[in-house]
Amino acid sequence: MSHYHPLSEAEAIEIARSIKEVFPQDGEFVCREIGDGNLNLVFHITQPATGAGIIVKQALPYVKVFGESWPLTVDRARIENQALIKQGEISPGLVPKVYKTDTEMALTVMEDLSDHVIMRKGLIEGGVYPAFAEQISEFAARTLFFTSDLGMSPQDKKLLVQSFVNPHMCKISEDLIFEEPYYDAKANNIDEAIRDAAEANWADEELKLEVALLREKFLVSAQALLHGDLHTGSIFVTPESTKVIDPEFAYFGPMGFDIGAILANLLLNFAAQEHWSADEAARRDRRAYLLNTVRDVWTLFEAKFRKLWNEQGTDRLLGSAAFQDDYMRRLLQDTVGFAGAKTVRRVYGFAHVADIDSIPDAAAKERAQRLALAIGTSLIKGNRQASSIEDVIRIATEAAATTTAAATAES
Amino acid sequence: MSHYHPLSEAEAIEIARSIKEVFPQDGEFVCREIGDGNLNLVFHITQPATGAGIIVKQALPYVKVFGESWPLTVDRARIENQALIKQGEISPGLVPKVYKTDTEMALTVMEDLSDHVIMRKGLIEGGVYPAFAEQISEFAARTLFFTSDLGMSPQDKKLLVQSFVNPHMCKISEDLIFEEPYYDAKANNIDEAIRDAAEANWADEELKLEVALLREKFLVSAQALLHGDLHTGSIFVTPESTKVIDPEFAYFGPMGFDIGAILANLLLNFAAQEHWSADEAARRDRRAYLLNTVRDVWTLFEAKFRKLWNEQGTDRLLGSAAFQDDYMRRLLQDTVGFAGAKTVRRVYGFAHVADIDSIPDAAAKERAQRLALAIGTSLIKGNRQASSIEDVIRIATEAAATTTAAATAES
Contacts of B155 in chain A (CB under 8 A): 167-168, 170-171
- DSSP assignment letter at A85: H
For residue B167, give the nearest of A158, A171, A209 by CB distance.
Answer: A158
Question: How confident is the model at residue B1, as a pLDDT?
Answer: 46
- Residues B310-335: tens digit of each pLDDT: 999 987 766 789 999 999 999 999 99
Q: Looking at chain B, which residues constitute the CATH 3.90.1200.10 domain(s)? A: 117-410
Confidence class for position B65, pLDDT limits 50, 70, 90: low
Tell me what the mean pLDDT of segment B345-355 comes to.
Answer: 97
Question: How confident is the model at residue B314, as a pLDDT?
Answer: 82
Which DSSP string corresponds to A303-366? Answer: HHHHHHHHHH---GGG--HHHHHHHHHHHHHHHHHHHHHHHHHHHHSSS--HHHHT--SHHHHH
B68 a known binding residue? no
CA B228 – CA B344 distance, rounded (Å): 17
- DSSP assignment letter at B306: H
Which is higher by pLDDT, A411 or B35?
Answer: B35
Note whether A369 and A272 are within 8 A (CB). Answer: no
C-alpha closest to that of B322 among B312, B330, B332, B311:
B330
CA A232 – CA A339 distance, rounded (Å): 13
- Residues A36-92: tens digit of each pLDDT: 767 899 999 999 999 999 999 999 988 776 566 778 888 999 999 999 999 999 999
The residues facing B221 across adjacent strands are: A221
Contacts of B209 in chain A (CB under 8 A): 320, 322-323, 326
CA A41 – CA B147 distance, rounded (Å): 37
Question: How confident is the model at residue A1, as a pLDDT?
Answer: 46
Q: Which of A75, A215, A317, A334 to mutate to test the interface with B (most CBs of B within 10 A)?
A: A317
A9-111 in CATH: which number? 3.30.200.20
B332 a known binding residue? no
Confidence class for position B410, pLDDT limits 50, 70, 90: confident
Q: Looking at chain A, which residues constitute the CATH 3.30.200.20 domain(s)? A: 9-111
CA A41 – CA B357 distance, rounded (Å): 67
C-alpha distance from B150 to closest chain A C-alpha (Å): 10
Dmax over CA atoms of chain B, in Å, equals: 67
B57 a known binding residue? yes
For residue B165, give the nearest of A159, A166, A178 by CB distance.
Answer: A159
Q: How many A-B residue pairs are in contact by the CB < 8 A criterion?
A: 100
**Which three-class secondary structure state does DSSP give residue A91?**
coil
Contacts of B317 in chain A (CB under 8 A): 178-179, 182, 208, 211-212, 215
Query: What's the half-sphere exposure (Cβ side, CA atoms, 13 Å) at A160?
Result: 25
Tell me whether residue A212 is exposed, middle or buried, using C-beta atoms within 10 angstroms of its C-beta: 0 to 12, 13 to 18, 19 or more.
Answer: buried
C-alpha closest to that of A345 among A382, A372, A366, A385:
A372
CA B302 – CA B256 distance, rounded (Å): 12
Question: How confident is the model at residue A318, as a pLDDT?
Answer: 66
C-alpha closest to that of B21 among B105, B112, B117, B114:
B112
Q: What is the mean pLDDT of chain B?
A: 95
- Residues A6-28: tens digit of each pLDDT: 999 999 999 999 999 999 999 99
- ipTM score for this prediction: 0.95
C-alpha closest to that of B187 among B72, B179, B372:
B179
Which chain A residue is nearest to residue B217, measuring alpha carbons? Answer: A221
C-alpha closest to that of A309 among A295, A291, A323:
A323
**Rama region for B65: left / alpha / beta (φ>0; ψ in -120 to 50; rest):** beta
Amino acid found at B389: I
Q: At how many degrees (to 10) do helices B195-202 and B362-382 cross?
A: 20
Does pLDDT of B236 surpass 90?
Answer: yes
CA B101 – CA B77 distance, rounded (Å): 9
Which chain A residue is nearest to residue B149, measuring alpha carbons? Answer: A219
CA B27 – CA B46 distance, rounded (Å): 10
Which DSSP string corresponds to A180-242? Answer: GGGTT-TT----GGGHHHHHHHHT-HHHHHHHHHHHHHHHHB--EEE-S--SGGGEEE-SS-E
- CA dihedral for A290, A296, A299, A300, sign (positive or negative): negative
Do the chains contact at B208 and A154, CB–CB below 8 Å? no
Note whether A84 and A116 are within 8 A (CB). Answer: no
Note whether B232 and B119 are within 8 A (CB). Answer: yes
Which chain A residue is nearest to residue B166, measuring alpha carbons? Answer: A158
Segments of chain A scoring below 50 in pLDDT: 1
B229 a known binding residue? yes
Query: CA A213 from chain center: how many Å?
Result: 21
C-alpha distance from B12 to closest chain A C-alpha (Å): 33
A117-410 to CATH, choices 1.10.150.530, 3.10.20.90, 3.90.1200.10, 3.40.50.300: 3.90.1200.10
Do the chains contact at B182 and A208, CB–CB below 8 Å? no
Q: Which helix (H) or strand (E) holds B246?
A: none
Q: Which of B216, B221, B255, B257 to mutate to test the interface with A (most CBs of A within 10 A)?
A: B216
**Which three-class secondary structure state does DSSP give residue A377?**
helix
Question: How confident is the model at residue A71, as a pLDDT?
Answer: 83
Question: How confident is the model at residue B318, as a pLDDT?
Answer: 66
Which chain A residue is nearest to residue B167, measuring alpha carbons? Answer: A155
Confidence class for position B408, pLDDT limits 50, 70, 90: confident
Q: What percent of chain B has pLDDT over 90?
A: 89
